[in-house]
Structure 1
Amino acid sequence: MRGGIAVLVAVLVATLAGCSGSGREAAEPGVLSVGLREPGSLLPAQAHTVAQRTIVGALWTPLVTVDQDRVEPVAAESVTSQDQVNWTVRLRPGMRFHDGTPVTAKSYVDTWQAVATERWPGSRVLTDVLRPVRMRAADETTVEIVLDRPFGQVPFVLASPALLPLPESVLSTRDWSGFARHPVGTGPYKMTEAWRPGNGARLTRFDAYSGRRPGKVRDIALRVIDDPMAQYDQVRSGDLDLATQVPKARHESMRKDFPDRHVLWPLSEVSYLGIAVADTRLAEAAVRHALALAVGREELERGPLGYQVDLAQGLAPPAVPLTQRSGPCRPCTHDPEAAKALLEQSGGLTGPVPLRFDADSAQGQWAPALAEQLRRVPGVPEIVPTSLPGPEFRALLANRPSDGLFTITRTLWSPSPYEALSGLAGPTGYADEGFDQMLAASEATTDPAEIGRLSRLAENQLLRDLPVIPLWSAHGHAVWSDRVFNVTAEALGGIDLAFVDLRD
């Protein structure tokens, strides 16, 4: 009888352990459980969300990393140029893909050609930022790049996830959708099974990795938990080790619930209010400055934005080094009285035709509230907000709106100040020779201090003319359990899972 009872108890214990699967996994030695939103594609040149970049960052090793004004070679051994037109990237020997094949210079060149050909979102770092006229593999470990002009920010651009190499197995088959579900990278962790939508996947240490080795984390259990509140609560209960989202309702309590176990970091997504300079009502810079001063960013941050943003200090977001200011620019501040006075001096915007306000439907959470703020200012006519599906809205911007206002949200693919400023005002129809000259001067130098100084001068010109009004940039949140430590994050890579460690 006792034997039967013992067996029954053992079965019950095993059953209960199985039913609490998430909690048991969270406490399993050597296994880090991570909650994140459904990432979609895991192709590096398509990765722009926190979930995507966190996973891609664990599966791949970048050529370089950037910390403020310092560029640190990682997969690259060196990045050099004598004239800023001809660049040489030498790779560290011994790097391998997770399928065992070597990472070569040809891997990079062929991948970059595929990125440009497929026109994935990250292709802009090649077509608009680097602008190479020739790329070739000089030997197994040497990439040679020839640009169309002197450009000293190449080392910053090489940190882009869009430039991570793909193995020959997918470059030859072009099975991008299959690869996006089961990527083969070069980093400290490999994906042991194809991604399961709505569920997740498991990452395991890559034994042949030649870079910095992870600590005690042997496996990473990636779990799809789209609800930020569920992620947060599961970390509090011990059923999850790391949450990559924090809901608005927990923004204030986060510091109390996780006093030394939370992190906020800037993301490379930045939003502006664009102004069609061809609209005669908006042609004067004073009118545009009035609209900028009418924007109550703090009110929107507390409301529809749910504390998920950093309010603008200038045009370049915090994710871009070398360009940051000690305080907010004047058009970044809220001053409704000054806005009213500027409109009165300029004659206002009154007229028979309402002011258009076009927004991408993805920005529907905050665009109507912003339009309502502008309506409150005396001298602003009726505003007609429209919400367009993504493809239609992008077509509108590509054709340069001829009147009214419109939202602009950009994803940056590198920490290059040039990328942050170039093309920013394009949809507005704005052009200025002085701005172009200052931006070109910032391109030609390699000295970080000079890059920053010249970039700020170019930015100042845009802030004076104000074809775009700075609003905010997104930031990420993470909280973790007390068995986890050494959690860091950065704009291009999300949470750096390769550095996260466990106490058990």
Structure 2
Amino acid sequence: MRLLALFAVLALAVAGCSDPGPAPGVLSVGIREPATLLPADLADQAGRLVTGALWTPLADYDAATGKVTPRAAESIESTDRVHWTVKLRPATFHDGTPVTAQSYVDTWKTVATEHWVSSPVLTKLLRAQEIKASGLVLTLTLDRPSGQVPALLSAPGLVPLPASVLASHDWNGFAKAPVGNGPYRLDGPWKPGSGGKLKRVGEGGAAEIDLRVGEPAAQYDAVKAGTLDLATEVPGEKHEAIHEFGDRHTTWALPQAGYLAFPVTAPAFADATVRHGFALGVDRAALEAGPLAHQVDPAKALLPPADAPGERSGTCRPCSFDAPAGKALLKQASFPGGATVYFGPGAEEWTRTLAVGLHKALDVSVTAQARPAAGPLDGPSTLDIKLATPSPYELLSTLASESGYTDEIFRQNLSLADAAATPDEAGELYRLAENQLLRDLPVAPLWSGHGHAVWSERVHTVTTTPFTGPVLAGITT
């Protein structure tokens, strides 16, 4: 019996040591399972983190300052904002084939043809009438002047694909073994449910990155125990505990935001007073602490931090929770009472909580229902918008479209902002358009997404961007 007990103790010891922890020179990173590794067809944080290491975008763009940092591009220039020239740096894909201007032309044609997630960046935002390639030079001719081209071309979904997959159209196969032009290459195929290993190409951060797929709570505990270097998501139940890591944690703005869109042509919501009343009846803090599990911030502006140009000034009155004022506005507008709030895929839980809160705050009947596939709506709908670019034009035009808002002055300001010659001029015009939406309120801002990460003591230089989260290529151990 003693011998059996000894074997049992040894077995437990071996099981407890099954994960030896990070190896020297290897950065271990915990992530969720990416939705795909096809860069133009993803919008999830894990997918963008991985593809952000496998590919180098044409440029980095800071929405707050309008600063463009060329990456795969050597320069992105125009003299009239209609004709743009993009000069590429010499580069190769991880399969050894050259990255040329034609690589981008062929990839972008495919993105639009396949209707991938990033296709609206090309068809609705960039709107190039002609794109030509010559060696390492791209020339674009737009259908109107636009100063937003550097912001649009920085979109992570517009990175190039190698000629082999563009010829084969084997998108599923490519997503399992992607070939990019970035600082890391995938060493062997991606293993769903397990992860993959990245090998450094040239100079950079860690020589190897071990990407481990798992649940955020377990990954958080693994970092705390020293068996994982970096956890890229912190679950709600760990939110208040992240300070136990001292300065080894960070939060960053995600390109994601939630809104309540009103059907401005529906009789019950045609009056802006009613819309403001409903906006004041939303307890955003309850949504953040409840169904959204501390993964968001209550909205303080119409544009989320990841998409906001320049300094933010002034207050967002419709972002406040003021139930008495909300009820008074509905009474002032003779609101008939009763409303249905519609929700799309993935938004049911927090929309139902929102409807219950509106009912209690405003003392009117509010129910929640799945959004019908077609037809006009008679009540407001929740929107969970994931952005493809850092340009405010994308979000503001989407919000107007979703609510049916067609004010001509708003459209003019949006067009002028798109055509503006400088980031400062564009920022001022975007703020005018934003302020008009806050005044007329076809949509009420609810929340903006943010990401969390924690890391072990041996990890250094963790920086983040809205679209990739932690920049894996910059992390050292």
What is the TM-score when the length of structure 1 is the normalising length? 0.89
Q: For 1:441, what is the secondary structure of its paired residue?
A: helix
C-alpha distance 22-328 of structure 1, shift in aligned 2 (>3 A): farther
Aligned to 2:6: none
CA contact (8 A) 1:313 1:325 kept: no
User: In the alignment, is residue 306 of structure 1 matched against residue 303 of structure 2?
Assistant: no
Instruction: State how far apart, in whole Å, the 2-side matches of 1:324 and 1:267 are.
Output: 18
CA distance in 1, matches of 2:274, 2:316: 17
Deviates more, 1:371-380 or 1:110-119: 371-380
- Residues 56 and 327 (structure 1), Cα distance of their counterparts in 2 relative to 1, 3 Å cut: farther
Q: Judge conservation of contact 2:88–2:101 (CA < 8 Å) in 1.
A: yes
| Alignment map for 1:452-467 (pairs within 5 Å) | 452-467=427-442
Confirm whether residue 158 of structure 1 aligns to residue 153 of structure 2.
yes
- Tell whether the 8 Å contact from 2:40 to 2:116 is kept in structure 1 after alignment: yes
Q: Distance in 2 between matches of 1:110 and 1:486?
A: 36
Residue 229 of structure 1: aligned partner: 217
Aligned mates of 2:191, 2:13 — CA distance in 1: 25
* Per-residue CA distance 1:248-274 (angstroms, 9 max, x = gap): 11111101x111100100111111011
3-state SS of 2:273 partner: helix
- Residue segments in structure 1 that go unaligned for 5+ positions in a row: 1-11, 208-212
CA distance in 1, matches of 2:278, 2:74: 49
1:59-78 matched pairs, under 5 angstroms:
59-67=54-62, 68-69=64-65, 70-78=67-75
Deviation at 1:19?
Answer: 6.7
The answer for the alignment partner of 1:210 in structure 2 is none
What is the CA–CA distance in structure 2 between the aligned matches of 1:182 and 1:242, rounded to whole Å?
23
Aligned letter for 1:362?
G
**Match status 1:349 vs 2:336:** yes
**1:387 corresponds to which residue?**
370
State the partner residue of 2:86: 89
In structure 1, distance between residues paired with 2:120 and 2:310: 21
Matched, 1:358 2:342: yes
Q: CA contact under 8 A between 1:293 and 1:338: conserved in structure 2?
A: yes
Tell me the distance in 1 between the aligned counterparts of 2:79 and 2:345: 47
Equivalent-residue separation in structure 1 for 2:251 and 2:474 (angstroms): 17
Which stretches of structure 1, 4 residues or more, deviate above 3 A after TM superposition? Answer: 15-19
The equivalent residue for 2:176 is: 181
- Tell me the matched-pair count: 467
Task: Quote the offset at 1:21 in angstroms.
Answer: 4.3
Structure 2 regions of 5+ residues with no counterpart? 1-8
**Percentage of pairs with the same residue:** 49
What SS class does the counterpart of residue 331 from structure 1 fall into? helix
In the aligned structure 2, how far is the partner of 1:22 from the partner of 1:452? Answer: 50
Q: Could you say if the C-alpha distance between residues 187 and 483 of structure 1 is closer, same or farther in structure 2, counting changes exceeding 3 Å?
A: same
Question: What is the DSSP-based 3-state SS (H/G/I as helix, E as strand, rest coil) of the residue aligned with 2:179?
Answer: coil
Q: CA deviation at 1:387?
A: 2.9
Alignment of 1:275 with 2:265, yes or no, is no
Normalising by structure 2, we get a TM-score of 0.94
Secondary structure of the corresponding residue to residue 369 of structure 2: strand
Amino acid at match of 1:99: D
Mapped to 1, the partners of 2:308 and 2:326 lie a distance apart of 31
Aligned partner of 1:410 among 360, 372, 385 = 385
Matched to 2:349, the amino acid is Q
Name the amino acid aligned to 1:97. Answer: F
Deviations 1:386-412 (A, max 9, x none): 135xxxx5x44xx5x331111111111
After superposition, residues 396-407 of structure 1 pair within 5 angstroms as 396=374, 399=375, 401-407=376-382
Q: Is the 8 A contact 1:232 1:246 kept in 2?
A: yes
Residue equivalent to 1:293: 280
Secondary structure, counterpart of 1:251 in structure 2: helix
CA root-mean-square deviation = 1.9
Distance 1:335 1:323, change over 3 A: farther
